Chain A
């Protein structure tokens, strides 16, 4: 899932400056699970904005809505009627959701209420850990199910650097050294042989280095006719 954190309220207020009709829009997917932009956080943020405005003697009219998913047009359509009198949307979705909303409603300014951080998983209640770098060329089969690209501070592909100590990364004593985890995972799996092989320089083309990525899955792509009939137009 996508892990995000809410921006500081002061920063959010700054982005909203000069606008009094605000829609705070949340998302029930990833950002709800990581307690950054679900229904509860939408309510809390809206209330905080109202209180702040009241304290500063400003008038603000904040409405709230939370979509099932802000990254899919089908769900974002539901936002239309709620936008009628709104001057600005504060999106509490990830950066993907915020962009889809802006794309669908180009006449209304959409600003990000969250900082989208990474692709990760909840470690325990309230603690989230980055797991995947989205490099486009997965190597987990070589590394005991632990991604060195996302989880090693230096994205090393051929083993630990000289700073790994007691299972911790040299960069931060709170961070596990990915290569220590990889070593022990492969040891348990009886596959330490994998660590003897040199992995050549990575092809970063499937990653961001090939420019923004566009993935096309031909069997699912709809033809023009199919699109028309689905939309119900002649």
Chain B
């Protein structure tokens, strides 16, 4: 075991895994976050605590991860390349491991101009592929970048993001291969609505036998309204939402129910795609629906793997 994390144990056992996203609060109080963790605990192997997602200042992913741990659930700490140079990243990795965090997701991060700190200077000292290289060296060689020895290695399960819907499409699997080569143990994908394109992506993933080297968790987002569907289709770059999804949401008498139904159907489909080892549920601002989605998808109860 690389980290001994619950997520690693479940994935390594060959069980179809579940992760879910929880947004940290814009607050110092972790009360609401803790309530969410309590409500969602048991529905997923681990919970992603986002790192100032969409470049909006929130409670840090590390502090949120600790709160999650204290509530008895396993966190996936997210860490973007936007806000930290390699010194801060390595220091934060040691810090996270010292606090008991066992999963870390490496990301480029949403550009600062999307958030509430548009005038900020970004860092991008290293990119996510390099971040994985650095973290893997720390864990497996017990060395910080440059070679200095770490007395106690950070035992972390390393994650990366993949977006099968961004362009150039022909390069997306090669890019995933680079992340795998750099050290990704698991991958969480962008939200999947366009199953055709995702199937094509997975065919190529299998052709390269990447599914044997990395655990792919397919991302899903339950839609709350037709507007949300339209917004994702037109405003979020790197997203593909087929027209039929928008139409279904628009004509639904109960759009929220329809959104959950689409999400559950998507998960059912994803379960049958060879090489998909789990799902990652991103119920943005709607986390309370995660248990329902997991339940209706037949993903409960979650296994207990020692």
B-contacting residues, A183-212, CB 8 Å: 183-184, 192, 195-196, 198-202, 204
Q: Contact between A184 and B125 (Cβ–Cβ < 8 Å)?
A: no
From residue A53, how far is it (CB to closest CB) to chain B in Å?
A: 33
Contact residues of A: prevailing secondary structure: loop
Interface flags for A95-111 (1: CB within 8 Å of B; 0: not) read 00000000000000000
Structural contact, B168 and A161, CB atoms closer than 8 A: no
Q: Which residue of A lies closest to B130 (CB)?
A: A201
B124 contacts A159, C-beta separation under 8 Å: no
Determine whether the beta carbon of A201 is less than 8 Å from that of B145.
yes
Q: Which of B127, B170, B174 contacts A196 (CB 8 A)?
A: B174
Find A162's partner among B126, B127, B166, B177 (CB 8 Å cutoff): B166
A184 partner residues in chain B, CB cutoff 8 A: 168
- Residues in A with CB closer than 8 Å to B171 are 159-160, 179, 183, 195
> Does the CB pair A170–B122 fall under 8 Å?
no
- Contact across chains for A160 and B175 when beta carbons are under 8 A apart: yes
How far, in angstroms, from A100 to B88 measured CA to CA in the complex? 37
Distance to closest chain B CB from A155 (angstroms)? 4
**B202, CB-defined interface residue at 8 Å:** no
Q: Specify which of B86, B109, B182, B190 is in contact with A198 (CB 8 Å cutoff).
A: B182
The distance from the CB of B77 to the nearest CB of chain A, in whole angstroms, is 19
Are B166 and A159 in contact, CB atoms less than 8 angstroms apart?
no
Residue in A154, A162, A166 whose CB lies within 8 Å of B163: A162
Number of interface residues of A (CB under 8 A): 32
Beyond the given pairs A158-B130, A179-B171, 12 more chain A to chain B contacts, judged by CB atoms under 8 angstroms and listed by A's residue number, are A154-B124, A158-B175, A160-B168, A162-B238, A163-B166, A163-B238, A164-B237, A164-B238, A167-B167, A183-B168, A183-B170, A183-B171
Q: Would you mind naming 25 contact pairs between A and B with Cβ atoms under 8 Å apart?
A: A153-B111, A154-B81, A154-B111, A154-B124, A154-B127, A158-B178, A159-B175, A162-B161, A162-B190, A163-B110, A163-B166, A163-B237, A164-B237, A165-B237, A165-B238, A167-B167, A177-B167, A179-B168, A180-B168, A198-B178, A200-B133, A201-B125, A201-B133, A202-B126, A202-B130
Contact residues of B with A, CB < 8 Å?
Answer: 81-82, 86, 108-111, 113, 122, 124-130, 133-134, 145, 161-163, 166-168, 170-171, 174-175, 177-178, 181-182, 190, 237-238
